[in-house]
Amino acid sequence: MDITDEKLIKLKEKANNIRISLIEALITAGSGHTAGPLDMADIFTVLFFHTLRHNPQKPEWPERDRLVLSNGHICPVLYSTMAYAGYFPVEELKTLRKFGSRLQGHPHRDFLPMLESSSGPLGSGLSQAVGMALADKIDHGLTSERRIYALLSDGELECGQTWEAAMLAGKEKLQNLVVVVDRNNIQIDGYTENVMPLESLSDKWRAWNWHVIEIDGHNIEEIADAFEAAKAIFGKPTVIIAHTIAGCGVPEFERDYRWHGKPPNKEEGEVAIKELRTLGGKIRSEHQ
Amino acid sequence: MFDKDVEQASIRQGFGEGLLAAGEKNPQVVGLCADLTESTKMNLFSEKFPNRFIQMGVAEQNMASVASGLAAMGKIPFISSYAMFSPGRNWEQIRTTICYNDRPVKIAGSHAGVSVGPDGGTHQAIEDIALTRVLPRMIVLSPCDAIEAKKATLASVDTGTPVYIRLAREKTPVMTTELTPFEIGKAQIYWQSAKPQVGIVATGALLHRALLAAKELEEKGIEVEVMNLSTIKPLDEKALIELAKKVGKIVTVEEHQIRGGMGSAVAECLAKNFPVPMEFIGVDDLFGQSGTPDELIEHYGMDTKSIIKAVNKILKR
């Protein structure tokens, strides 16, 4: 399904709003992660507003696709996208990480049952997605149109469990499984290639019988095309290695691993929001 | 039951038969195994239902979380390995992706206890009750024989919660019949006396040694009651408090570390509700080693003689 020019503009605008709202939520929360949520905003936008078969009015619709967020710490972007998609009011984002909030510091189904999985400890999301894909395969065989999406960080590929799951998915030929790796090259302690080199990343997945697609994780059309292309792959799971810029959208935060695990303070947040509202100074903000 | 040639069967065999029966009854039941299919007796299920069985390879952490994903889609997954690896090696995955995530995965841990024998300490899980009973939502079952293991496996299908079923490798005496009542959360008295002075609370196959001890004690004029505590969580507090009120002294018997095990669970309940003197039969802060099951049970002080000794000791308290 191609994206029209009109839809492209709408999706870009949506991604920008999602970024603004997640920065506002992080400022209010006073803790949380900034870089990953910002750099995954374009991919979340395409998923929730273009690719996913889901119904925010009926979150439990049995035929829906499944989306597992493995690196739960980037939940500000999940929550922000879900709010814009209509799962809950955008105003609720300001309760992020507060006592009693549905928006826990790491996603928890007890508080927000419409989540497909509670997550936080890294390395276990792919396994859960593999389980979902296996269940779908047991019930519907190779004709199933349902897709199971798993979103992973690059740093969590250092967890051995991810590769246990990758091996199983390759063995079971789970063509209904699509993984996105957020290749932003950072993790808490530094740049991934210094902490624990991951390259050659695509070769590693290919070795386990995966179909590999590499994309620019900020190009809306490329993202949508990759998800579409994955639907045509037979007898293999697909991994989309999305090359992203950590902290994308706010030049002050971009490519700096120190923004992995801290929120902006009020001043830094205001700068970020101004950058986003003016698209980096290209347009005038309506708030100016 | 007290004859030398008492019928013997392994508790893991009971699990295998129970899973097969569960699979026939409920098409949502699926089985996952980490390269120990015959050893955990999951082969009975995998041979009958190859399309509902997933061979995981030696990957217990993946197995726990894959089962969580299957459960998210409405399946009722049973995962099996040795207890040392599941719930041992994969404890955090069980904690987060199964219990915290509220997914009804059933964990069958075989080869629990030192009676695994010659394989030695690396393969003898004596920490698994502690590891599982600390987890919210988890039901912990420790059947006493093959028939009770079959019933426990069947009963675990419909709980809607995670369940841990503790299994043992060796053939052990069959004490129950198809007609013996079993209900998750209900303890049963297996040896009654007119005027009991001590209550013995046992779990797993050691229940048989507790019953042998009761018979020997009776011959010496000491009356006891023996309880089969096959559900360790949720604890049958009512039955335990009743027993404590009746006898005033409790000895717990389990093939597990004393710290954190079934005896600790009983002590937590009684200390709060009706404190009585207690003795704990179990492994006293040590690891296992190679030997025959009988040698090891005796070495670690869990044999009939040790149970009798503990009863005599508590009578003097």
Q: How confident is the model at residue A101 (pLDDT cuts 50, 70, 90)?
A: very high
From the centroid of its chain, how far is CA A67? 9
* Phi-psi label, residue B191: left if phi above 0, alpha if psi -120 to 50, beta otherwise: beta
Q: How confident is the model at residue A220 (pLDDT cuts 50, 70, 90)?
A: very high
Q: What does the pLDDT average to over B61-86? A: 98
Interface test with A, best of B51, B52, B62 (most A CBs within 10 A): B62
The burial of B117, by beta-carbon neighbours within 10 Å (0-12 exposed, 13-18 middle, 19 or more buried), is given as buried
Q: Would you state the pLDDT for residue B214?
A: 98
Nearest to B228 by CA among B292, B173, B182, B280: B182
What are residue B75's phi and psi, to 5 degrees? -80, 160
B62/A contact by beta carbon, under 8 A: yes
Q: How confident is the model at residue B232 (pLDDT cuts 50, 70, 90)?
A: very high
Token pair belonging to A151: 């979103």
Q: How confident is the model at residue B47 (pLDDT cuts 50, 70, 90)?
A: very high
Are A224 and A46 in contact, with CB atoms under 8 Å apart? Answer: yes
- Judged against a pLDDT cut of 90, whether residue A286 lies above it is answered with no
Start-to-end CA distance of chain B, whole Å, equals: 31
Q: Would you state the pLDDT for residue A279?
A: 84
Q: What does the pLDDT average to over A154-169? A: 98
* Phi-psi label, residue A4: left if phi above 0, alpha if psi -120 to 50, beta otherwise: beta
Are B160 and B184 in contact, with CB atoms under 8 Å apart? Answer: no
Contacts of B61 in chain A (CB under 8 A): 124, 127, 160-161, 164
Beta B188-191 vs B171-173: how paired, if at all? Answer: unpaired
pTM above 0.95, yes or no: yes
Q: Would you state the pLDDT for residue A285?
A: 75
CA dist., res. A204 & res. A194, Å (int): 18
What is the tens place of the pLDDT at every residue in B123-170?
999 999 999 999 999 999 999 999 999 999 999 999 999 999 999 999
Q: Would you state the pLDDT for residue A288?
A: 59
CA dist., res. A96 & res. A82, Å (int): 13
- Judged against a pLDDT cut of 90, whether residue A72 lies above it is answered with yes
What are residue B118's phi and psi, to 5 degrees? -60, -25
Cross-chain residue pair B57–A110, CB shorter than 8 Å = no
Amino acid at B116: V
- Judged against a pLDDT cut of 70, whether residue B181 lies above it is answered with yes
Q: Would you state the pLDDT for residue B198?
A: 98
Report the share of chain A in percent with pLDDT over 70.
Answer: 99
Cross-chain residue pair A138–B102, CB shorter than 8 Å = no
Are B210 and B172 in contact, with CB atoms under 8 Å apart? Answer: no
* Closest CA of chain A from B92, distance in Å: 9
Q: Would you state the pLDDT for residue B117?
A: 94
Measured torsion, CA atoms of residues A209, B76, A51, A222, in degrees rounded to the nearest 10 = -20
- Judged against a pLDDT cut of 90, whether residue A182 lies above it is answered with yes
Residue carrying structure tokens 């009578």: B315
Q: What does the pLDDT average to over B285-290? A: 98
CA dist., res. B269 & res. A147, Å (int): 48
Contacts of A135 in chain B (CB under 8 A): 30, 69-70, 72-75
Q: How confident is the model at residue A243 (pLDDT cuts 50, 70, 90)?
A: very high
Cross-chain residue pair B67–A160, CB shorter than 8 Å = no
Start-to-end CA distance of chain A, whole Å, equals: 38
Token pair belonging to A165: 């799951």
- Judged against a pLDDT cut of 70, whether residue A97 lies above it is answered with yes
- Judged against a pLDDT cut of 70, whether residue A1 lies above it is answered with no
Amino acid at B292: T
Q: What does the pLDDT average to over A235-251? A: 97
What count of other Cβ atoms lies within 10 Å of the Cβ of residue A201?
18
Nearest to B209 by CA among B113, B98, B102, B303: B303
Catalytic, B60? Answer yes
CA dist., res. A251 & res. B107, Å (int): 49
* Closest CA of chain B from A122, distance in Å: 10
Q: Would you state the pLDDT for residue A207?
A: 97
B34/A contact by beta carbon, under 8 A: no
Q: Would you state the pLDDT for residue A262?
A: 95
For each of the domains in chain B, give its residue range(s) and CATH number, in order of start: 8-173 (3.40.50.970), 188-315 (3.40.50.920)
Asked whether the bond before B234 is cis by omega within 30 degrees of 0, the reply is yes
Name the average pLDDT for chain A.
96
Q: Which of B17, B60, B237, B255 is catalytic?
A: B60
Q: Would you state the pLDDT for residue A2?
A: 80
- Judged against a pLDDT cut of 70, whether residue A120 lies above it is answered with yes
The architecture that CATH gives domain A5-277 is 3-Layer(aba) Sandwich (3.40)
Q: Out of B52, B57, B62, whose CB is closest to A138?
A: B52
Cross-chain residue pair A134–B56, CB shorter than 8 Å = no
User: What DSSP letter does each residue of B250-277 carry, written as one string?
Assistant: EEEEEEEESTTSHHHHHHHHHHHHS---
Element (H, E) at B278: strand B278-283
Token pair belonging to B105: 């995965």
Q: 3-state class of B12 per DSSP? A: helix
- Judged against a pLDDT cut of 80, whether residue A241 lies above it is answered with yes
Are A68 and A52 in contact, with CB atoms under 8 Å apart? Answer: no
